[in-house]
A and B are shown apart, each in its own frame.
Chain A
């Protein structure tokens, strides 16, 4: 019987304790800077090295480059850049290999959509995703 009483005492004590739940959809979740959310992409920084595409474990990144419009400059600039968020597991490897920090993580994580097609994010969308960007990208 004593064990039961002890347990009852414990729950009664918790009745007045401070609540531990988050008021989530009303207040945004406090997330650390390192949090891995939806990527932000800087088209102007990209040098089309294809490293992110190669490292991606789920093959969710597709990109194409084109010749630099300015004939005096060498190299390529980005033409299309798509991330398929049906597949993306936000593992951070693309941002880890990027030599110019053209792709970095943000703190945004809300990806719920009404249709699967909307999970297919293109260059413009990723460029506009410029809130809560991670400050420190390389360890």
Chain B
């Protein structure tokens, strides 16, 4: 008699497609997954606990290392939270620099998501093309902040450095360049029948499920919910710019793939306008006390990171260190829907679904 039995397969923590040290324990029947259990925590560094012993300025380098693909938004969320508590007004020029840096970083992050997603599906070249263009962004941010990934650029009350000479023009000329490259990206991948076969209708969920699982970012917008904090709760100076929030009704991996590429285009629009409106002169730091002490009380702020809503909760008892700091890390929340999505899929789809969620393990594990 032929006997079949289920097999437990450990995917990760060292696996090419888990984007870091993520472990997935799947029970498979042949190649069909009957149960999936994510195991996280391999990259847990206790950022929130460490922050309780650190001054606010000292926490900023730690936020760089949470979502290491978009450090700028992480920098911003902490500074924004502290500024909200202290009621600091940010100078206009600093706000512009912040927005430009954040949008550049968003593009870089989506480019990585795009490249690695196609790499997960088996094509190697798009990854390199994406990294070629990302490298230009990284170099620009390197010129601005002095680091390629862990920027540590923003400070409570402003930014550390003013834009170097000619930098704004460089950003301005990068916008049309990337627009041209995006056409190539679509040529290379978006119409590819094999690719469409892999992602169309895969990993589908509904609007209700997305909201129940508290998804955010492209994962939420792929189901048709038009929710982008840059539009719905404008922070910084985002209300000055004219841009769209792309959404899709399909809720599958293909929709998420397209949304990321469309978001790059929207970010390019913002960059274009920001470069145009960039104020010629002005301070880059507000008047802040030398030792930053958030007043007694609590605050929660949230912004739109490339991966979704990133939030920061600070409870302060008036000292120079926070009493409690909590980050709402979008990757962590977006990951929670994975066991549900993976049930009944095969192993190839598992990779496609996991890649489309676009997690960064530094952020999942905190």
Contact = CB atoms under 8 A, between A and B. Distances in A.
Interface of A: 1-4, 6-7, 9-11, 14, 20, 31-32, 34-36, 55-57, 89-93, 96, 105, 139
Contact of B58 (A1, A36, A55): A55
Contacts of A1: 193
B144 interface: yes
Interface in B176-205: 184, 187-196
Contacts, number: 77
Contacts of A34: 142-146, 161, 164
B89 to A, nearest CB: 19
Contacts of A14: 125, 129
* Binding site secondary structure of chain B: helix
A91 B190 CA distance: 39
21 contacts: A2-B191, A3-B191, A4-B193, A6-B191, A6-B192, A7-B187, A10-B184, A11-B188, A14-B125, A14-B129, A20-B132, A32-B146, A34-B145, A34-B164, A35-B142, A35-B147, A57-B62, A91-B150, A92-B152, A92-B160, A139-B284
B54 interface: yes
Contacts of B132: 20
Contacts of B146: 32, 34-36, 92, 105
B188 A36 contact: no
Q: Which of B55, B147, B190, B193 counts the most chain A CB atoms within 10 A?
A: B147
B35 interface: no
A106 to B, nearest CB: 11
Contacts of B161: 34, 139
Interface of B: 54-55, 57-62, 125, 129, 132, 135, 142-147, 150, 152, 160-162, 164, 184, 187-196, 284-285
A91 B162 CA distance: 17
A32 B193 CA distance: 43
A109 to B, nearest CB: 10
Q: Which of A20, A32, A55, A105 counts the most chain B CB atoms within 10 A?
A: A32
B183 to A, nearest CB: 10
A93 B147 contact: no
A2 B125 CA distance: 19
Contacts of B194: 4
A93 B57 contact: yes
Contacts of A92: 146, 152, 160
A8 to B, nearest CB: 9
A31 B58 contact: no
A105 B152 CA distance: 14
B198 to A, nearest CB: 13
B57 A10 contact: no
A30 to B, nearest CB: 9
Contacts of B193: 1, 3-4
Contact of A139 (B162, B190, B191, B192): B162
A69 to B, nearest CB: 31
A55 B58 CA distance: 7
A88 B142 CA distance: 19
B108 to A, nearest CB: 16
A34 B192 CA distance: 42
Contact of B189 (A2, A7, A105): A7
Given A10-B188, A11-B188, A93-B152, 13 more contacts: A3-B191, A3-B193, A4-B194, A6-B192, A7-B189, A14-B129, A32-B143, A34-B144, A57-B58, A90-B147, A91-B60, A91-B61, A93-B58
A136 B147 CA distance: 15
B45 to A, nearest CB: 11
Nearest to B159: A139
A3 B285 CA distance: 50
Contacts of A6: 187-188, 191-192
A10 B191 CA distance: 12
Contact of B125 (A4, A11, A57, A93): A11
A35 B143 CA distance: 7
Contacts of B190: 3
B191 A7 contact: yes
Contacts of B145: 34
